[in-house]
């Protein structure tokens, strides 16, 4: 049986608290969903998440409707605090926390009694999630060090605990609703990883993170406002999401905003769907099925995004399925526009620019390149995820500062990648360092090669390479007026790749080729580079090659009028590759 649309004056007291709980639980679930992409990988993780998401049914059977939701909310508050501890961010804990968040969300939406209030709370939670990430430089609080991470975690835990106490004190109610609540899953992934993610949208549309955040916040605000209008939202949602995943470039921004504007109205109708008699289950089995199926629907969108396996197809399938469910449900009258939700949505638009104005000034990269000398750092950062499964952009920043590099080249840089917690490392580093960024996307816009420098960039070219490789060639102006050419790439071994790299270097006697070049010393590609007149920084410094097979392709090569000094491998900081730092002398 679907949820009902009660009049505000007839709502039980629990239904007054439930929309607030829905919003806070959704905010926590969105963060945990991105955390799971880093810390809960492997074939066992989806099974654990779905099993924990089904906990709502057994809790209702064991504790009753009045106590089940407060108990689950209290457990979610503790789980959110637990994952703030680095040692607790392991597969069983993260999978349990995410599954429990789904169970709480199902029970909270069920307690709302009015699907419109639940859908509006979800839209506001998505807007708050985007605003919070923009305020934190697109890094979730769970990954922040110190007070910047613990303060939001404590506030969310206190909000959950307070709402759980309020629900426990309120009169018992027997809310309706069950299996249709499974339709919450896929929209949660759209909000947290796709159309509602400023970092993903920024990479997809090739716009700044701030501009992408404004599109997301505007879409969330339009969704809250449009619930007071009669319009064909189900007919808009699927085409808008299709345009978002299929159309390239700037078209992704209006498509994302349109999808976010339509989604609350679609959810309002879809959650009120009345399943056929043969599909109706009695409590608590309906809640267990709704939780598990909702988690599965979310993972059907999230997992293909993490692994790059036809993600657009799963987005389209779930979008058309949700739209069809909404078309099969009764329409209902427009939802009144209370002042508070609209005011809150407008405040979400203003929060990121205000916090940006309060952010401390960046620590810029050095620019002292007198005498035709500059310092270079190259590193394959492995999506900023170390071997222990921790997302650690701070380690990347520490290595950059330790090297004192004038030019930084990084490979496998994530921009909204689901497997990197939705982090936009390009925007994060550029903001921390106040540097000019040159971006070369690989096979997907969310991963590529990055050049950062405080020197004047007088020319830049980017291109793809065979396989999933990417190449960037930049020319910078040094302090003495000379121009230095730098080519960087993340490449896979092969003759075609070798030809492309040597062509990018060209005949410039001052050119440097650096990056994860895919082949180590002694390989055919290395012999081709030596034959073209290039020489290695490691050999010049007498450092020798690395014994780590994963990092043997990390090289720095120079043309005939380039000399190297002070070459060194910095501490790997737990990553698969170690950063290489070297001083470049142009003769």
SS3 536: strand
pLDDT of residue 357: 43
Which are the contacts of 434, defined by CB distance < 8 A and separation ≥ 6? 361, 362, 363, 364, 365, 454
Cα–Cα distance measured from residue 314 to residue 291, given in angstroms and rounded to the nearest whole number? 19
Give the CA distances from residue 246 to residues 12, 173, 235, 239, 241, in Å, rounded to whole numbers and listed in that order.
Answer: 44, 45, 18, 10, 8
Cα–Cα distance measured from residue 237 to residue 140, given in angstroms and rounded to the nearest whole number? 27
Q: Tell the burial category of 343 from Cβ atoms under 10 Å away from its Cβ (0-12, 13-18, 19+).
A: exposed
Cα–Cα distance measured from residue 316 to residue 351, given in angstroms and rounded to the nearest whole number? 32
**Per-domain boundaries in the chain:** 15-358, 373-586
Other beta carbons within 10 Å of 546: 18
Asked whether 573 and 398 are in contact (CB, 8 A), the reply is yes
- Alpha-carbon Rg for the chain, nearest whole angstrom, is 26
Tokens of 420: 């990197």
Token look-up 């989604």 returns 263
Domain 373-586 has CATH 3.40.630.30: no
Which are the contacts of 535, defined by CB distance < 8 A and separation ≥ 6? 557, 558, 562
Residues in the chain: 587
Cα–Cα distance measured from residue 352 to residue 356, given in angstroms and rounded to the nearest whole number? 6
Q: What sections of 144-197 are H helices per DSSP?
A: 147-169, 185-193
Q: Tell the burial category of 547 from Cβ atoms under 10 Å away from its Cβ (0-12, 13-18, 19+).
A: exposed
Which are the contacts of 456, defined by CB distance < 8 A and separation ≥ 6? 476, 477
Which DSSP category does 484 fall into?
A: E
Of the candidates 103, 142, 182, 164, which has an alpha carbon nearest to the alpha carbon of residue 421? 142
Of the candidates 514, 392, 501, 401, which has an alpha carbon nearest to the alpha carbon of residue 451? 514
Cα–Cα distance measured from residue 225 to residue 214, given in angstroms and rounded to the nearest whole number? 16
CATH code of the domain occupying 15-358: 1.20.1250
Residue 272's Cβ-side half-sphere holds a number of Cα atoms within 13 Å equal to 25
pLDDT of residue 180: 87
Cα–Cα distance measured from residue 134 to residue 350, given in angstroms and rounded to the nearest whole number? 11
Average pLDDT value over all residues in the chain: 85
Q: Tell the burial category of 229 from Cβ atoms under 10 Å away from its Cβ (0-12, 13-18, 19+).
A: exposed
Token look-up 């310092």 returns 375
Asked whether 52 and 103 are in contact (CB, 8 A), the reply is yes
Cα–Cα distance measured from residue 76 to residue 45, given in angstroms and rounded to the nearest whole number? 18
Asked whether 296 and 99 are in contact (CB, 8 A), the reply is no
Which are the contacts of 553, defined by CB distance < 8 A and separation ≥ 6? 491, 493, 516, 517, 518, 519, 520
512-516 and 535-536 beta bridge pairing: unpaired
DSSP 43-105: THHHHHHHHHHTTHHHHHHHH-HHHHHHHHHHHHHHHHHHTTSGGG-SHHHHHHHHHHHHHHH
Token look-up 């997992």 returns 303
512-516 and 483-490 beta bridge pairing: parallel
Other beta carbons within 10 Å of 409: 30
Q: pLDDT below 70 — which residues of the chain?
A: 1-15, 171-177, 276-280, 332, 335-363, 540-551
The whole-model pTM stands at 0.90
Q: Which residues of 513-523 are buried (b: 16+ CB within 10 A; e: fewer)?
A: bbbbbbbbbeb
Angle at which helix 425-433 crosses helix 393-403, to 10 degrees, equals 40
């Amino acid at each position: 049986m679907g949820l009902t649309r009660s009049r505000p004056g007839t709502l039980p007291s629990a239904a007054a608290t439930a929309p607030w709980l829905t919003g806070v639980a959704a905010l926590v679930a969105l963060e945990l969903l991105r955390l799971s992409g880093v810390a809960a990988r492997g074939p066992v993780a989806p099974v654990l998440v779905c099993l924990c998401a089904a906990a709502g049914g057994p809790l209702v059977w064991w504790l009753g409707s009045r106590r089940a939701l407060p108990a689950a909310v209290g457990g979610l508050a503790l789980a959110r605090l637990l994952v703030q501890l680095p040692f607790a961010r392991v597969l069983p804990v993260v999978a349990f926390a995410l599954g429990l968040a789904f169970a709480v969300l199902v029970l909270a939406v069920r307690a709302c009694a009015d699907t419109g209030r639940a859908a509006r709370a979800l839209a506001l939670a998505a807007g708050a999630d985007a605003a919070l990430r923009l305020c934190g430089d697109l890094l979730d609080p769970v990954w922040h060090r110190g007070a910047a991470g613990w303060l939001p975690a404590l506030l969310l835990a206190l909000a959950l605990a307070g709402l759980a106490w309020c629900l426990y004190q309120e009169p018992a109610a027997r809310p309706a609703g069950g299996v249709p609540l499974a339709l919450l899953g896929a929209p949660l992934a759209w909000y947290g990883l796709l159309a509602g993610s400023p970092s993903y949208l920024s990479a997809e549309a090739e716009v700044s993170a701030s501009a992408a955040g404004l599109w997301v916040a505007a879409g969330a605000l339009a969704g809250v406002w449009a619930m007071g209008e009669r319009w064909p939202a189900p007919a808009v949602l699927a085409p808008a999401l299709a345009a978002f995943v299929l159309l390239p470039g700037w078209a992704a921004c209006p498509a994302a905003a349109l999808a976010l504007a339509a989604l609350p109205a679609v959810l309002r109708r879809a959650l009120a769907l009345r399943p056929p008699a043969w599909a109706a289950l009695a409590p608590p089995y309906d809640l267990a099925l709704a939780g598990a199926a909702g988690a599965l629907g979310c993972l059907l969108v999230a997992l293909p995004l993490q692994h790059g396996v036809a993600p657009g197809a799963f987005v389209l399938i779930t979008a058309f399925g949700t739209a069809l469910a909404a078309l099969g449900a009764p329409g209902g009258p427009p939802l009144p526009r209370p002042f508070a939700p609209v005011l809150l949505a407008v405040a979400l638009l203003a929060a990121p620019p205000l916090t940006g104005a309060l952010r401390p000034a960046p620590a810029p990269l050095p620019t002292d390149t007198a005498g035709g000398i500059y310092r270079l750092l190259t590193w394959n950062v492995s999506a900023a995820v170390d071997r222990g499964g921790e997302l650690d952009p701070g380690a990347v920043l520490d290595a950059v500062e330790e090297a004192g590099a004038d030019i930084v080249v990084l490979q496998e840089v994530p921009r909204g990648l689901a497997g990197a917690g939705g982090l936009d490392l390009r925007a994060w580093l550029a903001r921390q360092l106040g540097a000019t960024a040159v971006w070369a996307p690989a096979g997907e816009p969310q991963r590529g090669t990055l050049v950062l420098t405080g020197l004047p960039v007088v020319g830049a070219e980017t291109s793809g390479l065979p396989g999933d490789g990417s190449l960037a060639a930049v020319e910078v102006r040094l302090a003495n007026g000379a121009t230095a050419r730098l080519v960087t790439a993340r490449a896979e071994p092969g003759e075609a790749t070798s030809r492309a790299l040597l062509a990018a270097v060209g005949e410039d006697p001052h050119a440097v080729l650096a990056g994860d070049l895919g082949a180590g010393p002694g390989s055919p590609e290395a012999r081709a580079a030596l034959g073209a007149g290039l020489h290695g920084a490691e050999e010049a410094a007498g450092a020798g090659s690395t014994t780590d097979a994963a990092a043997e392709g990390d090289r720095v090569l120079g043309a005939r009028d380039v000399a190297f000094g002070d070459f060194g491998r910095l501490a790997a900081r737990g990553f698969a590759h170690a950063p290489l730092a070297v001083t470049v002398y142009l003769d």
